[in-house]
Amino acid sequence: MITTLIRYFNLTFLTLLILVMLSFGLAYFFPGDPIINLMGTNKLDSQPFLMLSSQQTNIFMQFWYYVQALLAGEWGVSFATGKPLYQDIMRLLPATLELSIYAVTIALILGIPLGFLAGMNYHKKIDNIFMSSSMIMYSFPVFWLALLLILLISLQAQWLPMSGRLSLLFNVPHYSGFILVDILVSDIENKRFAFNNAVQHLILPTLSVSFIAFAVFLRATRRSVADVLETQYIKSAQTRGLPGKTIFFRHVLRNALLPVLPILAVQISTLVTNVMIVETIFSWPGIGDWLIQAIYERDYPAIRTGMLLVSVVVVIITMSLECISQLIDPTRDRFAYARR
């Protein structure tokens, strides 16, 4: 177990290092002066940046100072606003995480039980209904789905708001960046009302993201349940006359859930893409909306840092999920090649 942990730690560290190198390299690929692309301006006076921009520094030393600057939270400033990127990203990242976490939670809470239901009724009516509807669900282009929801629910029915994460009239102080948490810890008036308002703003974006993720989880769970039910050990358990309850909880549940975790890991990157698209449509003030604005404005420091941060978060989450599933089920060994 310790070896697994160490191995994953090393792997994550290496991956992060490569990502940092890539982001450093990007500054050279983007049009314009690489040093300006790294810092966003030539008027910074922090120590690592001064060293970075000095003429004598060779490229390896530059990289070293760049890493130092990154670790010190000196991420340069945005071309577009002239403000430090660190502040911007720390404000926006929680909004994205919040949306993703709620969407994944809903997709899992609904997808896994329904997937079990479908898998236990493999090739029966209920299974067929679930399979065909989930097929329809994940064929939706996410941006079209979001637009349809806005058209029907926000504009036609006028049930829910269509943009932002909270009515701008509320001035909730920044605490954790998670809007629901921030409202609960704040001491504004009408806290309850603000909370409701935030939830109303959350529903449509969350629904758009979880709609597709739900279908994927449902199908994955159903497949894995069906596979487990076909195995010899379930059959032998039945022959031995174990009660159905025991078979289900001791064998089916655990073994069928195991493959779902890695699928969740693989889905993270798709999920992030969808979250970013949904953010732009619902003007959700998260990192995706911000990055897409940055590309419109050719804000290279913002693109570089945003890309680095998002991929670092994705890598850490994916690696942790992989690591956990490996710890639970040591027979799986997706990264076997890295051990050789």
Partner 1 sequence: MLDANLYEEELHPTPLGATWREFKQRHVAVFGLVILTIFIIVAIAGPLLSPYAPTTQHTNTLLIPPAWDDNGSILHVLGTDALGRDMLTRLFYGTQVTLFSSIVTVFIALGLGVAMGVVAGMSKGLRSSFINHVLDILMLTPTLLIAIIIVAILGTGLTNAMLAIGLALVPRFVHLTRDFVREEMNKDYIKTARLDGANLTQVFLFNILPNMVELLIVQGTLAISVAILDISALGFLNLGAQTLMPELGVMIAEGLSTVYIAPWNILLPGLTIFLMVLSINIVGDGLRSALRNRLTH
Partner 2 sequence: MSELANRLISFNYTARLRLLVIFFVAIFVALSTGCTDSSISGTAPAGVIYCSESNPSYFNPQLDTSSTTADVSAHQIYSRLLEFDPSTGRIKPGLASSWLVSDDGLTYTFQLRRNVKFHQTDYFTPSRNFNADDVIFSFQRWLNDDHPYHDVNDATYPYFSSLNLAHTIASIDRINGYRIEIKLFQRDSSFLANLATDFAVILSQQYGEYLMLTKQPERIDFYPIGTGPFRFDEYQKNQFIRLLPHLQYWKSVPLTEQLIYDITPSSSIRFAKLRTGECDSIAYPSQAEITIMQADPNIVVQEAPGLNVGFWAFNTAKPPFDQADVRRGLALAIDKNSILDAVYFNSASRARSLIPPSSWAYNNDIKEINYNPMRARELLDKAGIAKGFRMTIWAMPVVRAYNPDALRMAQLIKSYLAAVDIDATIVTYDWNTFRDKLNQGEHDSVLIGWSADNGDPDNFYRPLLSCDAIPSGTNRAMWCNPEFDALVNSAIKISNEDKRAILYAKANNMIAKEIPLLPIAHANRYQVKNAALQGFSINPYGSIRFEGVTKTVPLPTPSMTSSTVVVNDEVRP
Specify the residue, 144 or 249, whose C-beta has the smaller distance to partner 1.
144
Among 69, 149, 291, 323, interactor with partner 1 by CB under 8 A: 291
Among 47, 54, 273, 320, interactor with partner 1 by CB under 8 A: 273
Nearest to 308 by CA among 45, 65, 85, 94: 85
The strand ranges marked E within 71-208 are none
Among 196, 250, 273, 328, interactor with partner 2 by CB under 8 A: 196
Q: Give min distance, CB of 306 to partner 2, in A.
A: 13
Among 19, 51, 120, 307, interactor with partner 2 by CB under 8 A: 120
At residue 243's C-alpha, the angle toward residues 239 and 245, to 5°, is 130
Q: Could you please report the per-residue DSSP string of 112-150?
A: HHHHHHHHHTTTSHHHHHHHHHHHHHHTS-HHHHHHHHI
Specify the residue, 206 or 267, whose C-beta has the smaller distance to partner 1.
267
With binding defined as CB under 8 A, does residue 36 bind partner 2?
Answer: no
Residue type, 91: R
Q: Give min distance, CB of 274 to partner 2, in A.
A: 20
> Which residues are within 8 A (CB) of 144 and not within 5 positions of it... i.e. 6 or more apart?
none
Nearest to 94 by CA among 163, 23, 175, 206: 175
Distance CA 74, CA 39 (A): 9
Among 199, 266, 314, 324, interactor with partner 2 by CB under 8 A: 199
Q: Give min distance, CB of 126 to partner 1, in A.
A: 16
Distance CA 182, CA 179 (A): 5
Residue 178's binding partner, choosing from partner 2, partner 1, none, with beta-carbon cut-off 5 to 8 A by kind?
A: none
Which residues bind to partner 2, rule: CB under 8 A? Answer: 80-81, 83, 106, 109-110, 113-114, 116-117, 120-122, 150, 154-155, 158, 160-164, 167-171, 189-190, 192-193, 195-197, 199-200, 203, 229-230, 234-235, 238, 244-245, 247-248, 252, 283, 285, 289-290, 293, 296-298
